[in-house]
Amino acid sequence: MIRDLFRYIATPAPPAQRRLGYLRDSIWLQSRAHRCRAAWAPHLAASRDVMRAAIATRGRRDTVVVLGSGLLADVPLAALTDAFRRVVLVDAVHPLATRRAVRALAQVELLTADLSGAMALLTGHASDLKPCLPPVCAEPGTDLVISANLLSQLPIRPVARLEGGRRAYGPWTPQDGDAFGRRIVEAHLADLARLSAQICLVTDLDETEEDRAGHVVERHDLLYGVALGASDHAWTWELAPFGEIARGRRLLHQVAGFTDWRP
Ligand SMILES: C[S@@+](CC[C@H](N)C(=O)[O-])C[C@H]1O[C@@H](n2cnc3c(N)ncnc32)[C@H](O)[C@@H]1O
């Protein structure tokens, strides 16, 4: 509790990220990652393996961009810094641990940005969703762009804000949550598809809530019905083992990994 409060105060984050809850989410994610470290280890290792496989297929290695770099728990930072001249890490919030990990690495840049395209709309600075990849993704020197367990996260805060309020944001009303979420997922994929760089995409697809007998209690499509096609890697991430959300329930996510994604 005290550590979370310290992190909340000490982590640099723009006002929009604080106001919309992204900083709180980042700190909460760090705490859950620590509590669930044993359950998460296979998922983090599998994610890093997909990214390493993507690095290995690249001939030219000038710049790599990691979208949703967060805690760098599922990102093979050493493999990236060994292979690329320049490593750009992009997230809404860069945790203190990440800032410490890269402080001495001259080739690593931290870029704080909204990748959902929704923050400006939700803070009254835009009239609709906006294109959201930072320009570095489309620079000629950028050879690899990694979307690192980010895609399913992009709609969460914006949809919760839209559905939880009594007002419209641009053309979106509180009843439009699913369509709004789907548009955010589709926009990220469309933005990636336009890039000439190789795209490595790792994302969870759906969430299953199970009881101790293995019965499925609930299931959610995390991508709002958007299909990605057949992945080269697939695994199950035990996001919340028994006891994390309830004594008799656990949450499982299906994850897909693409070393060279194209729609
Ligand atoms: C599940 S975590 C990914 C884990 C991360 N790759 C790691 O290794 O720790 C999702 C990340 O997406 C980031 N994120 C969520 N919404 C975002 C947004 N709109 N713009 C930028 N980053 C966002 C979160 O801050 C978080 O770091």
C-alpha 87, offset from chain centre? 17
Label residue 105 left, alpha or beta by phi (over 0 means left) and psi (-120 to 50 means alpha).
beta
Pocket test for ligand 1, best of 11, 89, 150, 162 (most atoms within 8 A of CB): 150
User: Which pLDDT does position 49 carry in this prediction?
Assistant: 98
User: Which pLDDT does position 115 carry in this prediction?
Assistant: 98
Query: 60-85, pLDDT tens digit by residue?
Result: 789 999 999 999 999 999 999 999 99
Q: What's the burial of 200, exposed, middle or buried (CB within 10 Å: 0-12/13-18/19+)? A: buried
- In-domain check, residue 11: no
Nearest CA to ligand 1 atom 27: 70
Residues 219-229, mean pLDDT to the nearest whole number:
97
- In-domain check, residue 14: no
User: Which pLDDT does position 53 carry in this prediction?
Assistant: 97
User: Which pLDDT does position 59 carry in this prediction?
Assistant: 75
User: Which pLDDT does position 219 carry in this prediction?
Assistant: 97
pLDDT over 80 at 87, yes or no: yes
- In-domain check, residue 143: yes
Nearest CA to ligand 1 atom 4: 70
Q: For residue 185, give Cα distances in angstroms to 17, 226, 241.
A: 19, 7, 27
- In-domain check, residue 130: yes
Q: How far does residue 131's CA lie from ligand 1's centre (Å)?
A: 17
Domain of residue 85: give its range: 37-258
The per-residue pLDDT of the chain, averaged, comes to 96
Residues 108-130, mean pLDDT to the nearest whole number:
97
Higher pLDDT among residues 214 and 1, named by residue: 214
- CATH code for position 150: 3.40.50
Residues 78-98, mean pLDDT to the nearest whole number:
97
Q: What's the structural domain count of the chain?
A: 1
- In-domain check, residue 141: yes
- In-domain check, residue 22: no
pLDDT over 80 at 58, yes or no: no
